[in-house]
């Protein structure tokens, strides 16, 4: 079991927030990591494994023109997948993975090209409002290595977002307690 997944389940439970996942290249591995944690049912709404490109549009609302022009391995596709699964499953947070695990390139992208995304209730002053946060990865290794590193990375991306949001909230509370200075 991934300790990052356990940390996320704990943190989201304390915050009273929920999570949904949209997966392509990881094929359900992100959901499996999260649901391996005891108590995950308190925070995990579900997942959509949209492996086929057309399902990204049909189930997650990814723009069909974007998919036709750029293919499924694209940062905007990842962002729209995270937003789409969050809305479709009624979660506070949405995660997404899309990329090329190999053995062959896809959509003009080399093996190891991965995009991960998080969408959630970002703070009003956050630069991520209205589109979530996307990270681009260039991974090495075989198919299994690329898929597992994608899982680790998307969980880390959400943890980083939650931690930075928590730090921002603590700063805001501290400012209020100190007369605004």
CATH number (domain holding residue 62): 3.90.950.20
**What are the strands of the beta sheet with 44-49, ordered from one edge?**
44-49, 19-23, 93-99, 113-119, 133-138
The boundaries of the domain holding residue 78 are 3-177
∠73-89-121 over CA atoms, to 5°? 80
pLDDT digits (tens), the chain, 181 positions: 569 999 999 999 999 999 999 999 999 999 999 999 999 999 999 999 999 999 999 999 999 999 999 999 999 999 999 999 999 999 999 999 999 999 999 989 999 999 999 999 975 444 444 457 999 999 999 999 999 999 999 999 999 999 887 665 554 444 344 444 3
Q: What is the pLDDT of residue 122?
A: 72
Q: List the helix and strand counts (H, then E) for the chain.
A: 6, 5
Q: What is the pLDDT of residue 171?
A: 44
pTM over 0.85: yes
Q: What is the pLDDT of residue 31?
A: 98
The number of distinct structural domains making up the chain is: 1
Q: What is the pLDDT of residue 163?
A: 87
Instruction: With beta carbons less than 8 A apart as the criterion, state whether 89 and 101 touch.
Output: no
SS3 category, 78 = helix
Q: What is the pLDDT of residue 165?
A: 75
Q: What is the pLDDT of residue 174?
A: 42
Nearest of 1, 22, 84, 14 to residue 43 by alpha carbon:
14
Rounded CA separation 57/72 (Å): 10
Rounded CA separation 3/70 (Å): 35
């Amino acid at each position: 079991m991934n300790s990052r997944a356990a940390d996320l389940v704990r943190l989201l439970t304390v915050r009273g927030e929920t999570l949904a996942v949209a997966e392509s290249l990881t094929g359900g591995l992100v959901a499996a990591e999260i649901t391996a944690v005891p108590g995950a049912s308190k925070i995990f709404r579900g997942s959509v494994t949209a492996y086929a490109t057309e399902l990204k549009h049909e189930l997650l609302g990814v723009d069909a023109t974007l998919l036709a022009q750029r293919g499924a391995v694209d940062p905007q596709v990842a962002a729209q997948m995270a937003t789409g699964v969050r809305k479709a499953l009624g979660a506070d947070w949405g995660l997404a993975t899309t990329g090329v695990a190999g053995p062959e390139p896809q959509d003009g992208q080399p093996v190891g090209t991965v995009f991960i995304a998080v969408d959630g209730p970002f703070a009003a002053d956050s630069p991520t409002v209205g589109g979530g946060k996307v990270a681009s990865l260039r991974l090495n290794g075989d198919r299994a290595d690329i898929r597992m590193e994608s899982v680790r990375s998307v969980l880390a991306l959400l943890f980083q977002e939650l931690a930075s949001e928590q730090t921002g909230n603590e700063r805001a509370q501290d400012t209020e307690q100190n007369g605004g200075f």
